[in-house]
Amino acid sequence: MKSSKRQIREIEGDSLLVGKLPQGCNLCSKGSKMVLFVTGLCDSFCYYCPLSHDKSGKDVVFADEMPVSEDADILFEVRAIRGEGAGISGGDPFCNLERTLKYIHLLKQQYGSSFHLHLYTSQTDVSQEVLSSLQDAGLDEIRFHPQTSNWSGVQRAVEMKLIVGLEVPAIPGKLEELKKVAKRAEEIGVSFLNINELEASETNFDKLVSMGMRLTNLESASIEGSSSTAREVIKWSADCLQNLSVHYCSARFKDSVQMRRRLERRLKQTIRVFEERDELDPLLILGVIRAVHGSQLNHEQLVMIHSVLLNQFDVPTNLTNIDEVRMRVEVAPWVIEEISEQLKEKLGNINDLEIGIVFEYPTWDRLQTLFDPL
């Protein structure tokens, strides 16, 4: 006898849920999951892949926005967001299995069994040997992105009592295909299906447009029709499925909830004494002295500017810094506002110099949102 219709629950950022939210998603919603990008190599060729040019097809490692050169970089980023887990992604982590296993061991040894790890892969035919190695290392949850009809690896993972999910984009016009995926997932005992709103990026935009897709609006990267397709699957799942949890993850949830909360966590952990935070958004505010766009100060110039601040303006050492990565001198915003005119005179012999206040995300790459020249 068919069970009664299950409840559709509205969660943050326009996302919807039937059933139980996976633990990996719970932690993502708190902003406490680090994205551990273990390689840009991949055996699949998804036309909607959003990976940037500096990652796609390259065997590189990133912890959130930070390029990783040693294990300590990964541990630093976990501390920076007060992480409770990590999502292991790519590319495809199975394209560098040895590295993937190494990082699972590293994180479990460093933070204990409660540190939640989930992994994404497109290899739905993964072998028993590989799954066993992941399980033995401590992987908590595996998410498959089916590319073929061969789900033998998904079946194996279910039989091994791993927490198994599927993760797919909501492609406009593919409603019936999504229903078939969900029905098959329930039949073999998969725990959950995550349906992501399809988004455009600089690398997939031309292909999506060539297939007749377009943006929902100019303020969003989401693709028109993706949300409505996902919502139809959610309604159908509530009526027609009994056990499979189905979660629609919207683009707005990723940006305004998940990402924002991770930025808030990182800001609180990494803000320096000479920085302020924006009143509304998780942005850092600081003064900078740097070259104009298209040119760059050298090390000797940075040292000279820093020396002028310390010795001629009596700026305390804890309120200024030389940033060798971005080749700029940083100073407390309340200080630089007060001395900017006199500082311009003192530094008049350096051409193409700009002095001002920057607003930046607290990520490793310090993405700038605004520069206010003084």
For residues 147, 148, 151, 157, the Cα torsion angle rounded to the nearest 10 degrees is -20
In a domain, 309, yes or no: yes
Diameter over CA atoms, the chain: 85
CB-based contact 202:52 (threshold 8 Å): yes
Same domain, 247 and 355: no
Same domain, 76 and 128: yes
In sequence order, what are the residues at sequence separation of 6 or more whose Cβ sits closer than 8 angstroms to the Cβ of residue 180?
none
**Which of 213, 211, 229, 125 minimizes the C-alpha distance to 168?**
229
Same domain, 261 and 292: no
In a domain, 92, yes or no: yes
H-run or E-run covering 197: strand 192-197
CB-based contact 178:229 (threshold 8 Å): yes
Same domain, 231 and 260: yes
In sequence order, what are the residues at sequence separation of 6 or more whose Cβ sits closer than 8 angstroms to the Cβ of residue 37?
55, 60, 61, 62, 63, 89, 90, 91
Place of tokens 């992501």: 196
Same domain, 304 and 253: no
pLDDT for position 72: 97
Q: How confident is the model at residue 1 (pLDDT cuts 50, 70, 90)?
A: very low
Mean pLDDT of 91-116: 97
Summarize pLDDT for 160-216 with one digit per residue, the tens: 999 999 999 999 999 999 999 999 999 999 999 999 999 988 898 888 889 898 898
Domain that holds residue 317: 275-373
Same domain, 245 and 290: no
Same domain, 347 and 283: yes
| pLDDT value at 219 more than 90 | no
Q: How many residues does the chain have?
A: 374
pLDDT for position 315: 96
CATH label of the domain that carries residue 323:
3.30.70
How many whole angstroms from its chain centre is CA 37?
9
Same domain, 301 and 249: no
In a domain, 1, yes or no: no
DSSP character at residue 319 = G
Q: State how far the Cα of 134 lies from the Cα of 129, in Å rounded to an integer.
A: 9
The overall average pLDDT reported for the chain is 94
In a domain, 73, yes or no: yes
Reported as half-sphere exposure (CB side, CA atoms, 13 A), residue 138 has a value of 20
How many structural domains are present in the chain?
Answer: 2
CATH label of the domain that carries residue 47:
3.20.20.70
User: 156-174 in b/e burial notation, b at 16+ Cβ within 10 A?
Assistant: bbbeeebbbbbbbbbbbeb
**Which of 35, 36, 64 minimizes the C-alpha distance to 362?**
64
How many helices, marked H, and strands, marked E, lie in the chain? Answer: 12, 17
H-run or E-run covering 242: none
pLDDT for position 21: 94
Same domain, 240 and 315: no
Q: Which among 230, 246, 269 is the end of a domain? A: 269
Strands 353-360 vs 368-373: parallel, antiparallel or unpaired: antiparallel
Q: What is the DSSP string of 102-156?
A: HHHHHHHHHH-TTSEEEEEES-TT--HHHHHHHHHHT--EEEE---SS--HHHHH
Strands 284-291 vs 276-277: parallel, antiparallel or unpaired: antiparallel
pLDDT for position 205: 87
Same domain, 25 and 87: yes
H-run or E-run covering 307: helix 299-311
In a domain, 45, yes or no: yes
Q: Which among 269, 298, 329 is the end of a domain? A: 269
Same domain, 215 and 350: no
Q: Which among 216, 242, 269 is the end of a domain? A: 269
Summarize pLDDT for 291-341 with one digit per residue, the tens: 998 899 999 999 999 999 999 999 999 999 999 999 999 999 999 999 999
**Which of 22, 24, 164 minimizes the C-alpha distance to 83?**
24
Tokens encoding 239: 């009526």
Same domain, 183 and 78: yes
In a domain, 310, yes or no: yes
Q: Inter-axis angle of helices 152-159 and 128-137, to 10 degrees?
A: 40
Place of tokens 């849920």: 17
pLDDT for position 292: 92
